[in-house]
Amino acid sequence: MRHIQKAALSVIVLAMLAGCATTQNNPTTQANIQKGHAQSVENGGDGYSENELTSAISTHLGVTAESAATTIERLFKDRGRPVAYITGEEASGAIGVGLRYGKGTLWMKSGETRKVYWQGPTVGFDLGADASKVFTLVYDLENPDFIYRRYPGVDGSAYLVAGMAVNYQRANGVTLAPIRTGVGLRLGAKVGYTSYTTKRNYLPF
């Protein structure tokens, strides 16, 4: 019975995700164009600045610049400048057990990009499904190909700030900080681990 429930839930969540349009353009570029700047990155430094990410998060997640700035300030105090970020969409649901699927693009500060898929179980016995956008900051990633691995959630790292949910995932020295808002805050959908892959994996376990 549980296997049938998981299969049915996977179909529902993947169908929801299929209706999401993945971001094709770098949000930092879009934000700077809107401000009238010709370049998409700021000079100096070896990671994204607070100003770049505030604009990018506001653009991608559809939140106010003030909310984005508050969230970024907290993350910069914790981790400093990220060397990359992921913009994408995800869907999650639960029928006794939860599943989460996502797709997006990795944007390195160096200019390199990678298509990324992610999937994993969620902990929490709730019922329902939702789809939302997600913006993930990436720290200490030297090679973009190293993004593809399993990232366990860091115990006690999840928190809410400015109406957005943030939690840390860490593996082999690389730290991810997914930021979710809106229906992405579904109660009980706590991520146990997330696998990032080059192709869609229909079995998240």
DSSP H stretches of helix in 80-198:
none
pLDDT on residue 25 = 60
Domain locations in the chain as residue ranges: 2-197
So what's the pLDDT on residue 127?
A: 54
CA distances from 162 to 64, 66, 97, 182 (A): 10, 9, 28, 11
pLDDT value for 79: 93
pLDDT, residue 97, reads 66
Nearest-angstrom CA–CA distance, 64 and 102: 24
The per-residue pLDDT string of the chain (205 residues; one tens digit each, 9 = 90 and over) reads 445 444 444 444 444 444 455 555 666 554 443 444 333 344 445 899 999 999 999 999 999 999 999 999 999 999 999 999 999 998 877 666 678 899 999 999 999 999 999 998 876 545 556 678 999 999 999 999 999 999 998 877 778 888 888 989 999 999 999 998 865 555 445 667 899 999 988 766 5
Q: 3-class SS at 8?
A: helix
Query: What count of Cα atoms within 13 Å lies in the side-chain half-sphere of residue 128?
Result: 11
- What is the pTM assigned to this prediction? 0.78
